[in-house]
Amino acid sequence: MKTQDIVQKLWNLCHVLRDDGITYLQYVTELTYLLFLKMAKETGAEKQVPAGYRWDDLASKDGVELLQFYKTLLVELGGKGAGRVQAIYANANTSFRQPRNLRTVVEAIDALDWYSAKAEGLGDLYEGLLEKNAEETKSGAGQYFTPRPLIECMVALVKPQAGELVQDPAVGTGGFLINAHRYVYEHTNEHFDLSTKQQNFQRREAFYGMELVADVQRLALMNAMLHDIESDILLGDALGPSGAKLPKADVILTNPPFGTKKGGGGPTRDDITYPTSNKQLVFLQHIYRGLKPGGRAAVVLPDNVLFEDGVGQKVRADLMEKCDLHTILRLPTGIFYAQGVKTNVLFFTRGAKDKASTKGVWFYDMRTNMPSFGKRTPFTRAHFAEFEKAFGEDPHGKSKRKDQGEAGRFRKFTREEIAKRGENLDIAWLKDDSVTDHADLPEPDVIAAEIVAQLQTALEEMQALQEELGA
C-alpha cells in the first residue's frame, strides 16, 4: 500500500468524527497523539514512553475505560515523558467525547499496513496528513502550511550545507526545516561523509526555529521527530524577547504570518530599529538582523512590504544597506490558502560591512499572464523551472544573468533606479494580456470623426424614410 493510500484512509475518518464535534485541526492533533504511540512501537522507540502508557496499553482498553485511560495517558506523557515526548504532549487534552469514536480511530491505526508505511517513510505519511489538513479550507490550517513546490524551490536555490545553522522564525508545521534537512542529506550522504560529531550536529542543532501557536508547534515537533530532527522548535513569539535570543543563522527560510500584530502596537523587543504593527516588516528586520555575515535568506512576503511608505520605506532601505537583495520573485496568485493574497519571495545575503550591500535587484515576474492556480490547475515544481534556470547555481545570486528586457520575465533594476522610486520595490513591466490595451485604440479625433459620420448616415436614412412616408 502506498503512503498516499494510507493517508487517505486516515483522513477519511475525520468525516466520521465530525459527529463528535471534532474539527479538522483537532483531528490531526488527536492523530498526532495516537500515531506517536503507534510509531514508537513500530520503530522500537517505546523506551521514550513511560511503561504502562504505551500503544498496547491503550489498544487493550474499550468503552468508557478506553476514553478515561486515554485522558490519563495524555496527562502522564505531558508530565513524565522523555524530552521530545513531553514537548509533544505538553498541556494535551482530548476532543473525543464518545468512546466509540476513539475506538474507531485506534482500530484504524492498528489495521494500517505499517510495513509499507515504514518502507516509504513515516515522515512522508505524517506530512501527507498535514497537507490534507491544509487543503481542507474549513480547517483553517492553510496559513501554517506553505505549498511544498515553493518550499522545494526556495531550498534548492539557497542550498543549505552540512554544518550550517538553518532557522525558521515562523515554523508552522516545519516544512522549511524538514526540506532543508532532506536537501543536506541528499547532497551529503550524511552517514558516510560526516563524522559522528557532524551527524550529531545535523540532528540536534542544525535546524531550529519558533512557532507561536501551541497546537501547531506540536505538529512541527512530531514532523521533525519523524525526520530525525531533534533540535529546538520552541513555542514562543519571534517578535518578542524570546525571538531575540534565537542564535544567528547561516540560512533563514520562512513564510511569516501576514497581517498586523494582535491588539495593535509594535514588537515587544528592544533590538528592532523600526517598530511597527506590520508583522511582516518586523519579521523582515528579525531575519536580516539574524543572519551571520555572508548568511543568506529566502522569505515569502506580501506585496505591501514592497511599497508601503513610512516605516516600510525605511526598512527596505536598511535591508539594502545591510544585505545584497539580489532577487525578488513575484509569485502568481492562487497558490496560498487565501486566494487573493499577492506574494513575493525575497532572496538576500547579509553583507560583510552592512553598508551599500545592494548594487542592483533582479526581478522575476511569475505573476503576469500566468494561469489561475487551484484544484483545476495544480501548482507544481515544474512551474519554477524557468525561474530556477534564470536564478542560476550560485545561492548568493552571483551567477551570470541575462536581462530579458521589457518583453521578458527577468529584469534588473539598479540601486539608483530603486532609490529614485522612493525605495519602492513594487515593480512591474510586462503587459497584462487580460487588460485592454488602450494604446491600440484609434486617436480621439479619429473616433470622433467616425461617430460624426455614423450620425450623418443615420440622419440621412431618417430623412429618406420620412420622404417615403410623406409620398
- Lowest average pLDDT, out of 13-17, 68-72, 129-133, 248-252, goes to 13-17
Instruction: Please tell me the total count of domains within the chain.
Output: 3
Look at residue 148 and tell me if it is in a domain. Answer: yes
> Over the stretch 311-370, which tens digit does the pLDDT of each residue have?
999 999 999 999 999 999 999 987 876 666 789 999 999 999 889 999 999 999 999 998
Q: How far is 101 from 404, CA to CA, in rounded Å? A: 59
What is the DSSP pairing of strand 323-330 with strand 233-235?
A: unpaired
pLDDT of residue 120: 65
pLDDT at 73 over 60: yes
Distance CA 226, CA 232 (A): 14
Asked if the model's pLDDT at residue 453 lies above 50, the reply is yes
Residues 73 and 166 occupy one common structural domain: no
Domain assignment present for residue 430? The answer is no
In angstroms, the CA 222 to CA 216 distance is 10
Q: Do 391 and 448 have their domain in common?
A: no
The answer to whether residue 433 sits within a structural domain is no
The C-alpha cell of 459 is what? Answer: 440622419
Q: Are residues 109 and 154 in the same domain?
A: no
Q: Are residues 341 and 400 in the same domain?
A: yes
Cα separation, 308 vs 287, whole angstroms: 18
pLDDT recorded at residue 245: 94
pLDDT at 449: 61
- The H or E element spanning position 80 is helix 63-80
Write the DSSP symbol of residue 383. G
Residue 99's identity, in one-letter code, is P
Is position 124 within any domain? yes
- Answer yes or no: is 229 within a domain: yes
Burial pattern 136-152, b for ≥16 Cβ within 10 A else e, equals beebebbbbbbbbbbbb
What is the structure's pLDDT at 471?
Answer: 54
CA nearest neighbour of 335 among 151, 182, 176: 151
- Cβ within 8 Å of residue 106, ≥6 positions away: 34, 58, 59, 66
Total Cβ atoms within 10 A of residue 43 = 12
Domain boundary (117, 135, 153) is at 135
What is the CATH classification number for the domain harbouring 48? 1.20.1260.30
| Statement to judge: residues 61 and 118 lie in one domain | yes
What residues are paired with 220 via a beta bridge? none
Whole-angstrom distance, CA of residue 455 vs CA of residue 458 = 5
Q: Cα-flanking dihedrals φ and ψ of residue 396, to 5°? A: -95, 10
The pLDDT of residue 211 is 94
Q: Of 87, 105, 135, at which residue does a domain stop?
A: 135
| Percentage of the residues of the chain whose pLDDT score is greater than 90 | 54
**pLDDT in the model for residue 450:** 64
pTM, two decimal places? 0.85
pLDDT grade for 310, boundaries at 50, 70 and 90: very high
Based on the domain organization, do 411 and 444 belong to the same domain? no
Average pLDDT over residues 47-55: 92
Residue 278: strand pairing partners = 260
Determine the pLDDT at residue 76.
Answer: 94
Give yes or no for residue 162 having a pLDDT over 80: yes
Are 129 and 177 in a shared domain? no
On whether both 200 and 84 belong to a single domain, the answer is: no
Give me the residue label for grid cell 511569516.
Answer: 256
In a domain, 171, yes or no: yes
- 310 in the same domain as 327: yes
One domain, residues 157 and 10: no
Give me the chain's average pLDDT, please.
87
pLDDT at 114: 77
Q: Nearest 5 degrees, angle CA 382-CA 132-CA 252?
A: 60
88 to 92, 219, 322: CA distances (angstroms): 8, 8, 38
**Rounded mean pLDDT of 222-226?**
87
Q: Same structural domain for residues 152 and 85?
A: no
pLDDT at 2 over 80: no
The sign of the CA dihedral 425, 172, 10, 124 is positive
Give me the phi and psi of 355, to 5 degrees please: -145, 130
Proportion of the chain above pLDDT 70, given as a percent: 86
Task: Give the range of the structural domain holding residue 458, as residue numbers without chain letter.
Answer: 439-465
Residue 375: other Cβ atoms inside 10 A: 6
Average pLDDT estimate for 26-43 = 88
pLDDT at 219 over 80: yes
Task: Give the closest residue to 229 by CA, choosing from 276, 163, 182.
Answer: 182
DSSP letters spanning 291-311: EEEEEEEEEEEETHHHH--TH
Domain boundary among 135, 156, 178: 135
- pLDDT tens digit sequence for 374-403: 777 888 999 999 999 999 999 999 999 999
Three-state DSSP class for residue 367: coil
Residue 182 within a domain: yes
Maximum Cα–Cα distance for the chain, whole Å? Answer: 112
167 grid coordinates:
532557522
CATH of the domain at 295: 3.40.50.150
From the list 283, 288, 277, 343, the residue with the least C-alpha distance to 311 is 277
In a domain, 429, yes or no: no
- Average pLDDT for 97-106: 91
* Same domain, yes or no: 232 and 366: yes
pLDDT above 80 for 273: yes
Q: pLDDT tier at 439 (50, 70, 90 boundaries)?
A: very low
- Which residues have a Cβ under 8 Å from the Cβ of 212 and sit 6 or more positions away? 170, 235, 236, 237, 238, 257
In angstroms, rounded to a whole number, what is the distance separating the alpha carbons of residues 371 and 367? 9
Nearest to 228 by CA among 245, 244, 251, 206: 206
Task: Tell me, rounded to whole angstroms, the distance of Cα 392 from its chain centroid.
Answer: 23
CB half-sphere exposure, 333, CA atoms < 13 A: 9
Phi (first) and psi of residue 257, to 5 degrees: -65, 145
Give backbone dihedrals phi and psi of 301, rounded to 5 degrees, phi first. Answer: -140, 150
CA distance 175 to 300: 13
